[in-house]
Amino acid sequence: ETGVTQSPTHLIKTRGQQVTLRCSSQSGHNTVSWYQQALGQGPQFIFQYYREEENGRGNFPPRFSGLQFPNYSSELNVNALELDDSALYLCASSMGASGPDWDTQYFGPGTRLTVL
């Protein structure tokens, strides 16, 4: 098991609402990436944070936003929820350019979001 934790495990929201998902990175990791995995598909990159700054973004609209805190934990915020936002949201942490394992991304268990 990795040291990456996510909360909550499951969440049900209605269309138009806003949601905040949380991720605690593995000890010693300063980079957090977020992915969306729709049912039956591979995960898709949303964005990455390195030392509290956004460090790359995938093809997701601005209503997907994030934060990284000084302890390197992170939040994913989604505004104006749509039915298609229903998915498993995964965060992954990595060491960010230090050590022999620096680019391996370790994933948390995910948050299952259902939008009704």
Partner 1 sequence: SQQGEEDPQALSIQEGENATMNCSYKTSINNLQWYRQNSGRGLVHLILIRSNEREKHSGRLRVTLDTSKKSSSLLITASRAADTASYFCAATPYNTDKLIFGTGTRLQVFP
List of residues contacting partner 1 (CB under 8 A): 2, 4, 31, 33, 35, 37, 39, 41-45, 48, 50, 55-56, 58-59, 88, 90, 92, 94, 96, 103-110, 112
Tell me how far the alpha carbon of residue 36 is from its chain's centroid: 8
Nearer to partner 1 by Cβ, of 73 and 106: the residue is: 106
Parallel, antiparallel or unpaired: strands 64-68 and 74-78: antiparallel
Q: How far apart are CA 47 and CA 111, in angstroms?
A: 16
Minimum distance from residue 106 beta carbon to partner 1 (Å): 6
Q: Which is nearer to partner 1, 3 or 16 (CB)?
A: 3
Beta strands in the chain (DSSP E): 5-7, 10-13, 19-24, 31-37, 44-50, 53-57, 64-68, 74-78, 87-94, 106-107, 111-115
Strand 111-115 to strand 31-37: parallel, antiparallel, or no bridges (unpaired)? unpaired
> Is the CB of 4 or the CB of 21 nearer to partner 1?
4
Supply the minimum distance, in Å, between the C-beta of residue 48 and partner 1. Answer: 6
Q: How far is the CB of 16 from partner 1 (least distance, A)?
A: 26
Which of 16, 60 has the CB closer to partner 1?
60
Shortest distance, position 37 Cβ to partner 1, whole Å? 8
Q: Which of 63, 19, 64, 68 is nearest to 45 (CA)?
A: 64
